[in-house]
Every structure is written in structure tokens, then in C-alpha cells.
Structure 1
């Protein structure tokens, strides 16, 4: 697919832009432009842009960024995996930096070639610098297609089921208000003042009834004090001691909360209006003559159920259906010794604190089969390592000897190379001299006349002086040959020393005279002194 010309123009302008910084400018823009354009034509799903890339060293640079999807055929279906390629400014000397960029509904699938951060590693990228002149971006994308076809780089993120929201028409009831300070138990509460007609609470289980029956049978409930001025006056004197003593009582000696607030009859025998009228005025409870202010009731959708012992009293009948007010100075029966108070399960929170186990956890008992297996594996691994170490030592010795031989051969080759280099230099100089001599000879041949001179002009002198010069030169050369023959005869013993010295002296004298005459004639004829 052809790349738009506008994209190509933008790409070339970005790559050839000079940032006046060698670390920000592309070193080989033409090669980078060619490879990127070829990759865009083969993979139209990629689009170029420029972004700031931060290296692992913290250095940031504005690089060319190829973003898009890579079509991969995985199990007969074509998938488009999102990838991103960063082209460094040293391209093609250094490889591109490949990343897998999953979308929001995807996650990176860590594998042999993809890390948790999404960076892609491959043998082609690791050895890019060794064959950078033959490596291209299109070949890298083709290799990534083959890799992703066997090992997909991303996978869909698992959808977490969302909890169903509560319906809006059924709001949760508000929490119970806290008790005022000084109150021993949260069981004593004012009865609910809800006006809604709600069904009565269900009866308790048989087990609860049987457990609560001894409470009512052992002791009758304490008669409440009427809310009079005399009780209010005695409250500051006895409120602290009475409330603390009453709050520390055991549940089986505690008065039911239904009889503390005043004279109340059973709710089964009175209508709701009478139950509401039996609540003490001004929202106060009396405990052993001490008024305790109650918390204001919050509006609730359903009234809170009464305590279990209150329900038991309703079912079995109260021993005192209607109570009349007692005098203010009435004293109840003696109280029992204070015991630990049992928490009320109706008003207690749902979180139950489990008893903490102090001390460290017991050690795990040893497993003999596991220990035997570990020893066997350790012994096998140790034997394998020793065997591999022995083989490595043997191979290392042969490799060391080969390395020494190679180093000696390398030194010999380097010496021969240096000798060949010197011979090459000598041959080049001789070749230069020979070429110059050939050029001069060619010039001389070109300047020489083409016709040969007559033989008579060469052998016969044109003048008498010249003929005399020819004769003197011939005679002088003959004397030189005679001297050479006398020397050879002396060496061979043909003539004696006396004869050799006599003839040599006479011939040398004659040769000297002829040479002097030759030089004189040459000066007269204007010849060179070398003759």
C-alpha cells in the first residue's frame, strides 16, 4: 500500500531536521527514511509521530514513534496486537525499541520475548549491531509476527463481578445511639416510639425459654420507684454507687428492663396507647432511686424486639400484672455479690472478637520422604556438576593449547604481512622508476629520425683527423686486450714474470701515449671530456 505523499514529506522533514545537538539529530536520515517508509507501506496499520522517549539512564530525546497494530494469524484467526516502535537517532547502528501497548481491557502476557513492562526482546534485536547494514524495520515486524503467532503478547483482562447494589426503597436502619457515661449495660433502653403498626416479634426458641425460666422463678423483679421529687433529691447521693453496683450484677439477679421505667403491665393485656403512657415523663429511667437520662430515640422503620427474658415473661405471665407505686424510701431485697456481666447478644455488634493465640506457631514436623527426595536430588546434581566440571577442564586444556598455537600462527602471519608490505613498497618504487625510464625511452624514440644513416657515414670518418681518432681508439682497445691476454698467460704459467712485466710495461706506455693523443684530438674536435 502506497504511503501518502504528505506523510512522506513530514517524515523526511522530521528526520533531516538539525537540532544542533548530536544526541537529538538523526545520524543517517536517508537510511532511516527509506526503512520507515518501507515499513509503513507494508504495514498500513502503523502511523508515525514524534514523542519524547526517556532512556533507562534518565536521558530524554525526541524520537520518531511508530504506533499502531500488528496483524498476526493465531490459530486461523487474524488478531491485531497493539505495538509501538521507537526509532533511535543512531539508527541503523542501533536497533529500534519495541513495546507492546495493551489497551484498558487488555493486559501484558509475560513470556519468553515480552517483559512485564511490555518491552520486546529477540535474538534479531540483540545481534542487530553485527549486521546493521542488512537489518530493517520491516524484517523486524515480520519476525514479530511469527513470534506473536506462537506466543501472543497480550490477553483480555478478567472482568471482576460487581456487587449488586441495595434497592433504594429499603434503606438500612440507623445505628443505635450510644449510652450516656456511667450506665453499666446497654440493655436498658427506652421503648420504641414508632407509630407504625408492626407485627409482634416472633416467640423465642424453646432453648431460650428453658434457659430464661429460672431467672423469673428464682427472684421476682424489683419494684420500680415512682418519678417523684423525693427520688430526684436522693439521686445525687446514691446514683454513683447504686448504678455501679447494679451494672455489675449477674444477668440472673438483674431486674428485667421492662419493670425499671415504672408501673408497666404486660404488653399483651394492654393496647399500644397504654404502653406509651407507661413511659416515665421527661425520658428518664430510675435505677435504685437514681434518675438516668435516656438517649433521644431516632426514627426507625421497625421497633427493636424486646429482650428474651421480657418475652418469656409475656408468654408465661407476669407474677405482678400491675404494679402500684411504692414509697420513695422503699428498699429492695439485698443484692448478691457482683459478677462478670454477660454481654447482650441483641445489641452487641456483629463482629465477634476471637481469642488471640499468644506465642509462636508450632514448628512444622519434618517430612522423611521430602528429605530423602531432596538428598537424592542434591546427590544427583552434585555428580552431574562434577562430571560437567571434569569435561570442561579437559576441553579447556585442549582449547588452551589451540589458543597458543593460534597466537603463534598469528605472530608468524603478522611478520609475513610486514615483510610483504615492505616488498610491496619496494616494488612500487621500482615500478615507478621503470615507468619513468620507459616514458623517457618512448620520448627519445619519438624524437629520433625514422631513417637509418648510411653505413659508410658511420664506419668511415668524414675528415683525416676523425680517421686518425678512429685508428687511435681501435689501437688503444687492442692494447687493452693484449694486456688482458698477458695477465691470463701469467696466471696459467705460460709466460714468466720477467717476460710479463717487460711486455706489460711497453704496452702500457704505448697505450698511455695513444690515450693522450685521443684526448687532444677530442678537444680539438669539440667532443666531450669523457672520451
Structure 2
């Protein structure tokens, strides 16, 4: 008992009505689908190369192959033509968006399969079917896959991705002191604003800064400020009011490891840059706060717990922002020390600024340039090497092309006289040909005029074609013609008598009459001949 048909088989029977051999199409497609479960049938409009469109049955899906001990799935689409199986199906490789067709002798750029099996199908279709075609495709694709993965675009390193790559290599910041409030998180270089528009600092939580063990050189006397004085608790009120902390903004510099040696080197480099600036003014204890000048680096600078390199660099080299309130008067002892301390100033080179009531303008030093990305430099070096190699090969190829073109140019230049000589000879031949053509044209015109004249006169009578110069000669011609005619008549009468067409009596009567007439004609011919001159005598054939 046969099993009931599946939905796919019912669908196939409904959609193969337009095919010439529907039973063969159903059998081949059903066997192929049962052998390869990854293939599915559908109907769609197929457009031929000549623009024709037809609604055809298509077997599409993934064809499993084994390539180098690994399993792959090749997307294919097989269109069943209306004349199947007399015409082979149209097999295509349909790559996805992440694949590209690999052209070969079996698959062209458009994905159309041109295998030997399809060629044999076109020669003899009786021994070919759809299942064998799919097996042949699987065998060919297992030896040489028809698709390959599309190469992914390689993007170069940018400034935004560099901090995220370097972040795992940085050590964590030191743990702040338990008695102090932790500072706010330091903004990453991506979020830091540009130096032209600094970000205002957070609101201070305390008005009393901690003591920073910072030693200044004797040539500089400036008030000391800390960039993290806002993040400490409020201790007991001290006997002397401290100086207010200035508001600085940290420039957009990348974070580095909190190594004292590294900090010392950067501070030393910045200090060497700022040594050429004029000496800062002395603190006089007035309520007006002057912007601090850049402080040269010193090997005795220390780093507080919780303080980063960006805070130090921002405190030393950032532009000044005025504070929100006026500070209290400085300590008289500190003021006295700042006044009595000698200034390392050359009086012959600079003017005395201590007696000038006008405060000097703050000198804002630009931040140092960011060091180049080493990966970018490496990419530049590779690109430079590749360009140099390509330039050498292109230069060599261009030099060879130049030599070849120069040789061709020399040949062309030497060919100009030969071409001119040949042109002269050809012009002479042309003139001769023109003269001959003119003469032939005249002869042809004359012949055409003669032909036209003959056509106008018409054909002459047959009797006028043969004539002599006199009446006697014309009579002689007529007598000779009549004698020959009688001779021929007697000959044909003799043949008729032998054939039994006429009887003997009739033959004798007719022959007697003709003989008498012939005798008279010949006698007259003989008389005319005797009367003519000797040179003009005619000797008839019967004489």
C-alpha cells in the first residue's frame, strides 16, 4: 500500500502543470529533495539573457560539501527549464552578503555553473537527471569551492580607540588616605575638553588644604596651591588662614603610570621650557591675587596619595581662573621670608618690576604636543616601504615602456621619407591609371553609340545578308541555291521510298519532275559561268 503524499509532493504536482514532461520533473525533483534535506522548491520568475521571462520551478538551498576534512554549505539555486529533461537545468551559485563568487572553469563570475556534466547533458539528455547533477556539483565544489569569505575592511587605529587599548596596561591609582574624602573620578582623555575651553573644577568641600611637601628653588617665590585641596575634610580651625586654592583646569593629556621618575622627567622637561620666561613677581600680601607663574621642576617633588599625574600637570601648566572669593592676608612671617629672599634676576637685562604698581599679565604656556601613536608610526613606515617598493617597480616598468616608445618613435621618424617616396610612386601610378581610364571611357562611349545605331536600324532580311555586286552574280547565287535545294529534296524522297512512306510510282513521277527542273538550272548556271571572266568563274560542287 502506497504512503500518502506529503505537502511538498502535493505542491510539486500543482506547480508542474506547465512543463512538457511533468512526471519526469516530479520524479527527479522528489528524489533530489529526499536525498538533500537542505534543499527546498519554489516557483519564481526567471529572466533569460535575451530578456525573456518565465515562471520556472527553482530548487534552492544549501549544498553540503567536504573540503579539507571540514564540512561547508554552498548556497545554490537550480532552475528547471520548461523543456526538461531535453534541456539541462540552469545551476547557479548564490553567494550571501558575506561571500563572493570565486570564478573558475566550472563557475563564472555571475555564479552560473558550466560543468562537464551539463555539457554532456546538452549532447545526450537520456542518461542525465537532476539528482546526478547535484551530485556532480557536490563533487566539483568539494575539490574547488566556488565561494570565499568577503574580506573585512581593516580600520586603522584612531585616537578614540587608543586609550581603551592602553587601559589594561595601566596600574590602578593609589588608594587615598582613609581620613580624606576620595577625589572625584578623573575624566578620560576622550571626555576631557580642549585647552581653549577648560572645564570648571568641582565645588570644594573644604576650605583648608592639606600640607604638600613641595620645595621651591630659591629663585622663585610664589604662593603654593594644590589642585586637590577641595576633597578633604574640614579640620579644626587653624590659627592662621591659609591661602585659597586656585582653580585650574587640566588639559587633555593622556593618563600615564604614577611613576615618580616619569613625573620627574616630565616636570624637568616642562621646567626647561619655562626657564626662558621672566621671573615672577614677589608676593606683597595685598588682597589682589596674581596668577601663578610656571614653577620649575625639582627632584624633591613628591606625590600625595590619590593625586595623579594629570592633576600635577594641570596645576603647574594650566591657565589661571580667578577664584570665587578673596583670600585672607598671608602670614607676615611668610611675607617677610618672601621679601628678604634673594631673587635670581639679572638687573642689567630686565627692568625692576617690584616698584611697578601694575601687575604683569599672566603668561600662558601652550601644552606640549601629544606624542605620536607608535602603531600609527609603524603603519606609516609599512606604507612608506610598500610605496617605495611599488614606486621602484613602477619606475622600472615605466623606463621599459619609455625605451619601447622611443624605439617606436625612431621607427616612425625614419618611416616618414619612405612613406613620402611611396606616396610619390602611387601618385604617378594614379595619374597613369586615370589616363587609361579616360581612353577606355571614350572607346566605351563610341561602342555604345554604334550599338544604339544598330538597334535603331533593326535586323536586316535574311535574303539581303548574302548578295553580290551585279545582277548576273545575284542570279548565279540564286540558281546555285535552287540546284542545291532540288538535290536535297531528291535525297529525302529516296529515304522515304526506302522507309516505305511513299510508293514507287509517286517517287518516280516526283523525281522526274525535279530532275528536269534541276537540269534546266544547271544548264543556266553553265551558261552564266562561260560568260563571266576567267578570274570570276565559279566551279560548283556538282561540276
Coarse TM-score class (shorter-chain normalised):
0.3 to 0.5
TM-score, normalised relative to structure 1: 0.38
TM-score for the superposition, normalised by structure 2: 0.37
